[in-house]
Structure 1
Amino acid sequence: MRLQLNRRLLLGAGFFLGLGGTACAQSAPARNLTVYKTPTCPCCDGWIAHMRQAGFTTTVTVLPDLQPIRRSRGLPDALASCHTGLVGGYLVEGHVPAQDVIRLLAERPTAVGLAVPGMPLGSPGMETPQGRKDPYETLLVLRSGATRVFARHNQPA
């Protein structure tokens, strides 16, 4: 009888410890970021530095053409920018601020990922010596290809 009781206690404790480990894993999303960029884009390096400063571990792959990666992940061509990142099952296209990626990973919406089309001045990696900051939006890219505004940046007061 005592052996059965100890076995039940051990199994129960293991079960609850396993649940605790799962909860911890879910509360701290992975910050492993794979970045694909072309060899001629210096602003991508600025964005990568921004992401590293925010705690992301980055792996960089230089490719001559990023379109196959974007298409395979469902990103419409109209949203393409100069670099593509993959993190936590999401695509991150262009100069998306780290805080938007952190929010995406915390909220986990059903989506392809985030995009900042073009190269807006004042976005991460697109800073200017004069400090010029153009207003821009981070878009949530839905699986249908449609978008909705995820965040607004550098908006006039």
Structure 2
Amino acid sequence: MKHALIALTLAALAGVAVAAPLPEVISYKNPSCGCCGGWAAHMRQAGFKVTEKPVEDMDAIKRRLGVPAAAASCHTATVGGYVVEGHVPAASVKRLLAEKPKVTGIAAPGMPAGSPGMEGGAEPPYEVVSFTREGALKPYARYVGTRPQ
């Protein structure tokens, strides 16, 4: 009985102490874009491993990964089987990975001022949307800078 209790205690402690690592982010970006590196740094600070891949034809990447034109931004990333388009805060990426909705990905359409990689100056509210390959967009989160609203 005593050995079983010790084994159960050790198993429980091991489960609590070990957190699953975050999946790697592959970020495709135009080689001349500086704000994309700022977003990658934001994701690294949030605990993600990020590999940046310079690509000349970003439109081809977006088409291949199913990013609707209405959701487009400057860089396109993949993580955990999802697409992350543009300057999406790490908090929304972590939520996406935890909730696993039936979407292609999430996006911060355009290049919202104050979003990760676009800091400096004004920080007006902006929206993160989810999207499907068919082009359906739905509100996912609202932010001011990297703070949820």
TM over 0.5: yes
2:110 maps to 1:133: no
2:81 maps to 1:89: yes
Q: What fraction of aligned residue pairs are identical, expressed as a percent?
A: 52
Whether the 8 Å CA contact 1:29–1:105 is kept in 2: the answer is no
Match of 1:80 in 2: 72
CA apart distance, 1:29: 6.3
SS of the equivalent of 2:70 reads helix
| Cα-Cα RMSD | 2.2
Offset from partner CA, 1:60-103 (integer Å, 9 cap, x none): 11011111121112111222111000000100000000000000
Unaligned ranges ≥5, structure 1: 1-16, 18-22
Match of 1:55 in 2: 47
Match for 2:38 among 39, 46, 58?
Answer: 46
Match of 2:56 in 1: 64
Q: Which has the higher helix share?
A: 1
2:93 maps to 1:101: yes
Distance in 2 (alpha carbons) for counterparts of 1:120 and 1:113? 18
Offset from partner CA, 1:11-44 (integer Å, 9 cap, x none): xxxxxx9xxxxx99xx836420000000111111
Unaligned ranges ≥5, structure 2: 1-10
Distance in 2 (alpha carbons) for counterparts of 1:63 and 1:83? 10
TM-score, length of structure 2 as denominator length: 0.81
Runs of 4+ in 1 over 6 A off after TM superposition: none
Alignment size in residue pairs? 131
